[in-house]
Structure 1
Amino acid sequence: MLLNLLVLNVFIMFCSWLLVTYNQRAGLVDVAWSFSIALNVIIAAWVMETAPLLVRVFLGVFSGIWFLRLTWHLLRRYANETKEDTRYANMRRAMGSYQHLGFLAFFMFQAGLVVLFSYPMLELLSIPVQQWNDWTPYAVLIAGLIMLLALIGESTADQQLYRFKLDPQNRGRTLDRGLWKYSRHPNYFFEWLHWFAYPVLGLAAGVYGLWLYPLLMWLFLYYITGIPFSEQQALAHRGDNYKDYQRRTSMFIPWPPKE
């Protein structure tokens, strides 16, 4: 199953790379990444009959909805962009004449990351029925509540930012209302919260290694792909306006702003 899904991911990323080679907008990789995880989880939940039906339905439906919603949000953002995302534009300039091969390697690397971040769901789906204890329904309920809270929070944050950016009068200004009043990155916070659902569910089967994933996602968001770049871009485009926002507002965990 893992090998088959990897082949599927490589195919999706290769097709995306072909399109990006044509339109010069590599931000499509984010859309393909999220969509690939959604497909991985939905297919695995449908095909793998090892885990209890309740667990299979929960992961297939809830995780599938999570990543499909994220795919739709990223695709909407991608469709509204008039130029290439700054991250990938910088990569393109750095790679110069080798950009086509460079982006091909990058897209194939993303296919591997899809497997990495699909692993918690695949691991849970591979645990036999006999290993799950009587607390499984309660673990599913708690994991469902975590995922529902994260889904509502991230959807709300994304929609608030999307509407804010649609208004030309907000150019050069920082959104500091709604959830963005309490965190500079509420969308990342709720993305991180979502990953706690899987280790909580794993407790019902005696699986504890999945607690690594909230830590891994926090490291990615806090130090690698999420917050550092977002903060750098915000300071470059909004200057003092964003510095004032930084002084008042929690970086990650929602918290009442400073006066």
Structure 2
Amino acid sequence: MQELIEIGLKKVLPGILLNQIAFYSLYKILKNNECIVDVAYTVSHFVAGSIYAYHFGLSSFENKFKLGLLALWTARLAGFLFYYRILRGFRDPRYEVIFVNYKKETFKRDVVVFGQYIFQGFIVLVTSSSLYFLFKNSLNPYQLAILGTSIFWIYLEGLSDHQLQSFKDQKNKAPDSICQDGLWKKSRHPNLFFDLMTWTTIAISSIKSKNDALALISPLVLYYVMARLTVPITEKLMKKKRGDKFTEYCSKTNKFLPI
């Protein structure tokens, strides 16, 4: 526990915050597109993982494999967000709601957004903490097999993102239409569920002793953020735009579980 705190505060947190500040600078360069914060979140996890990996050594094939899986998750999610959100100029209505009070006050808005980037950095420090245990421990074949299933979850998260994006790209669809294609038939947030499964898999596969159970803090905090912040804001906007149609969709569709 002491080593985790020491490495986290002295090495990982500075790296994360530098990455967050770099992405805030990109946010200003690209004309204040708040969606960049989601890309920063993803890349900051890779920064944290890289620091843990180099601290414990990358000489073994095992740790290279672990870092490769993290790179795969990062490249998939960050690449998707950057292409479909940033390059296409998409404006996320969730952030418009958050910053609506600062629409005409540029300086105050910039201060609040900068604070969001820094605060998110501290959240990443916690949600990436399972990576400390992942790179510290040498895993047995059973644990490596569990970790390997993360490829499956990464694929399904990508599939759900693709299905939603394909729905959004459809022309001539009704303004109040709701994506119910593929995985979205069974879950209102399948992409979040599979992302949570990825980090749960990382945490579980990293546990070799009772003390290592602290790795579970990562997916637990991630779930809390999803359940208490991301989902409520998203669904409030969906309800506002689609009314009773969205209420009906919620009544017959699970929030997370795609079953």
TM norm structure 2: 0.84
1:19 to 14, 26, 29: 26
Any idea what SS the aligned residue of 1:112 has? helix
Task: Name the count of aligned residue pairs.
Answer: 246
CA RMSD of aligned residues (A): 2.4
| Distance across 2 between alignment mates of 1:70 and 1:215 | 20
The one of 98, 117, 131 aligned to 1:121? 131
Q: Cα 1:39–1:50, aligned 2, differ >3 Å: closer, same or farther?
A: closer
> Are positions 1:60 and 2:75 aligned together?
no
Q: How does 1:45-84 map to 2 (within 5 A)?
A: 45=53, 47-49=54-56, 53-79=60-86, 82=89, 84=91
Unpaired runs of 5+ in structure 2? 1-6
Match of 1:158 in 2: 161
Instruction: Tell me by how many angstroms 1:248 deviates.
Output: 1.8
Contact kept in structure 2, 1:59 and 1:121, CA below 8 Å: no
How far apart are residue 90 of structure 1 and its match? 2.6
Does 28-37 or 241-250 show the bigger shift? 241-250
Residue 153 of structure 1 aligns to which amino acid in structure 2?
Answer: L
1:231 Cα deviation from its structure 2 partner: 1.0
Equivalent residue number for residue 238 of structure 1: 242
Give the Cα–Cα distance (whole angstroms) in 1 for the partners of residues 77 and 222 of structure 2. Answer: 16
**What is the DSSP-based 3-state SS (H/G/I as helix, E as strand, rest coil) of the residue aligned with 1:169?**
coil
What's the CA shift string for 1:100-131, capped at 9, x where partnerless? 2222222111222222222111233234xxxx
Distance 1:52 1:214, change over 3 A: farther
Written as runs of structure 1 = structure 2, the 5 A alignment for 1:1-259 is: 2=8, 3-22=10-29, 23-45=31-53, 47-49=54-56, 53-79=60-86, 82=89, 84-95=91-102, 96=105, 98-127=108-137, 132=138, 136-145=140-149, 147-170=150-173, 171-206=175-210, 207-224=212-229, 226-255=230-259
Contact kept? 2:33, 2:89, Cα under 8 Å: no
TM-score of the two chains, using structure 1 as the length reference: 0.84
Q: CA deviation at 1:50?
A: 5.2
> Shift of residue 36 of structure 1?
1.9
Moved more, 179-188 or 238-247: 238-247
* Structure 1, unpaired ranges of 5+: none
1:4-28 deviation digits (Å, cap 9, x = unpaired): 3333322222232233335122221
What is the alpha-carbon distance in structure 2 between the residues aligned to residue 161 and residue 140 of structure 1? 31
Task: Tell me by how many angstroms 1:244 deviates.
Answer: 2.1
CA distance in 1, matches of 2:183, 2:72: 22
Deviation above 4 Å: which 4+ runs of structure 1? Answer: 80-83
What is the CA distance between 1:82 and its match in structure 2? 4.3
Counterparts of 1:20 and 1:100, CA distance in 2: 10
Distance change >3 Å, CA 104–CA 94, structure 1 → 2: same
Q: Residue type matched to 2:17 in 1? A: V
